[in-house]
Structure 1
Amino acid sequence: MKKLLFSIHDVTPHHFDRLLEIDTFLQQTNVGHNYAMLVVPNFWGEWPLEKHPEFCEWLRQKSDSGVEMILHGFFHKDDCQHHNHIDRLKAKKLTAGEGEFLGLSASEATERVQAGLKCLEGVLGHEVSGFIAPAWLYGEAALNVLHEQGFKFAEDHWCLWSPDTGKELLKNSPVISYASRSVPRIISSLIWSKLATKLLAPMDVIRMALHPHDFDKKVLVNEFDRALNALLKHRTPMTYAALLNPNDVG
């Protein structure tokens, strides 16, 4: 049977209420706990995990229940002052100042990745093998650091690969995701979601991503509900780790 790879981005105490709402919604579907949480260790430098023990305990409970935990940057905030022209355009058009790993130097990227791993693994009590950059944006230094650190999987807007081995795990795979920052982005999200559930139907694996703020807009919630149920009619949820074993992807 074909597969669905589902993830919740921006998992931080700052969004705890929305995350609880989304998780409750998922438990009422066939997704259950078979999804991934992309965890930010210190969201915008104002929400360190260690300062929120109740949230950390919830993460551990979700992990024990089967939810896959993935490192999602460190601050989730782009504070780089030395972007080149192309990166500056990406940072402006593709995200609202949150492409944290787009313009970092090698030393900066290494420091944040290692600090993020130490924090998240300390919270969970087990190893974290995946990294996904905020806004799916990576600079060359960040890509090199992921390889050096031996991450088993990472993804961008179009594909999923293993930084450890360099092997491509999933290619030509656009993500079904949503944006709520403005009316034009909401409209484009609705159009893409409706089209994608049909256009991507032949693919063995479809990726779907949700952000906490998506649940702020009823129109997006309704479309997400429709799209998810349409996909689950012909797909079973899977983990990122399962892509490391081709036999697990049918």
Structure 2
Amino acid sequence: MKRLLASIHDVGPRFEREVETLLDRLSGHLGGPRLAMLVVPDHWGEAPLTPGTPFATRLRGWADAGIEMFVHGWFHRDTTEHHGIAALKARHMTASEGEFLGLDHAVALDRMTRGKALVEDIIGRPVAGFVAPAWLYSDGAMQALGEAGFALAENHGRVWAPNAGDRVLTRGPVITWASRTNGRQLSSLAASAVLRRLLQPAKVVRVAVHPGDAHVPRLLESIDLTFRAFTRGGRVPSRYADLAR
């Protein structure tokens, strides 16, 4: 069976309208809310996810409808001063968004466990796993994943099981888009067009969208083309948890 895994990143009260727009759009391609949401507990320290609020109620409703919920960092913002290769990653792969790229083990574990407890309290069930903002992890963060009790984790190149000896469940690049600048939009449009063809034989394809995509018509068109390319051939929209089975 060939699977399609879809996810909406940066889910939280700051981007409620954008998340709703993307959920409606993706559900039309997937035959329902057969996707994952990556939840940020307090985006940039300015948009806390609070139990009992209307957004928390909506998040629980989405989980009840079958959407997988992942913890997606805590702040999403990277405030670490980087050097060497990490500095290159922080500068070129994300704009101060790779929160877990420079964290030591203790801080990473604390943010993971607090995020897990908060989201699970709101949705009333275990989270599916953890995905670091911008898919970037420090060595300490990698170590903390299993200790925090996450069943699944993801970076840009693979999905693995931290609580099962870091067993790799699938490999391959995520198809995603960048809306921040015109140049990044153009490069992501080109990359997605290539990957739509190259990944057709793959057993598992992952596609991720972000709130900023909802404001750029040409990115939305590319997202539609990508989902059509992978669903029209009979590829099955699936859950991340299906990989572990």
Q: TM (normalized to structure 2)? A: 0.96
Alignment of 1:19-168 (within 5 A): 19-50=19-50, 53-81=53-81, 83-165=82-164, 166-168=166-168
Cα drift, residue 59 of structure 1 = 0.7
Task: Determine helix, strand or coil for the equivalent of 1:152.
Answer: coil
In structure 2, what residue type is equivalent to 1:63?
A: A
Task: Determine helix, strand or coil for the equivalent of 1:224.
Answer: helix
Cα drift, residue 237 of structure 1 = 0.5
Distance 1:124 1:130, change over 3 A: same
Q: Percent identity?
A: 42
Distance in 1 of aligned mates of 2:31 and 2:104: 38
Distance in 1 of aligned mates of 2:189 and 2:105: 38
In structure 2, what residue type is equivalent to 1:243?
A: L
List runs of 5+ in structure 1 lacking aligned partners. 246-250
Residue in structure 2 matched with residue 248 of structure 1 by the alignment: none
Distance in 1 of aligned mates of 2:70 and 2:128: 7
Cα drift, residue 196 of structure 1 = 0.7
Distance in 2 of aligned mates of 1:148 and 1:142: 10
Cα drift, residue 31 of structure 1 = 4.2
In structure 2, what residue type is equivalent to 1:120?
A: V
Distance 1:208 1:80, change over 3 A: same
Distance in 1 of aligned mates of 2:106 and 2:203: 38
Cα drift, residue 52 of structure 1 = 7.3
In structure 2, what residue type is equivalent to 1:48?
A: P
Task: Determine helix, strand or coil for the equivalent of 2:157.
Answer: coil
Task: Determine helix, strand or coil for the equivalent of 1:37.
Answer: strand
Q: Deviations for 1:189-211, whole angstroms, at most 9, x for unmatched residues? A: 11111111111101011000000
Cα drift, residue 77 of structure 1 = 0.5
RMSD: 1.2
Q: Deviations for 1:33-77, whole angstroms, at most 9, x for unmatched residues? A: 110000001111111110771111111111001000000000000
Cα drift, residue 25 of structure 1 = 1.4
Distance in 2 of aligned mates of 1:27 and 1:227: 14
Distance 1:12 1:244, change over 3 A: same
Aligned residue pairs, count = 243
Matched, 1:244 2:241: no
Distance in 1 of aligned mates of 2:227 and 2:149: 33
List runs of 5+ in structure 2 lacking aligned partners. none
Task: Determine helix, strand or coil for the equivalent of 1:102.
Answer: coil
Task: Determine helix, strand or coil for the equivalent of 2:30.
Answer: coil
Q: TM (normalized to structure 1)? A: 0.94
Q: Deviations for 1:154-174, whole angstroms, at most 9, x for unmatched residues? A: 111111111111111112x10
Cα drift, residue 214 of structure 1 = 0.8
Distance in 2 of aligned mates of 1:2 and 1:107: 39
User: Which structure 1 residue ranges, 4+ long, deviate > 4 Å from structure 2?
Assistant: none
- The answer as to whether partners of 1:13 and 1:52 remain within 8 angstroms in 2 is no
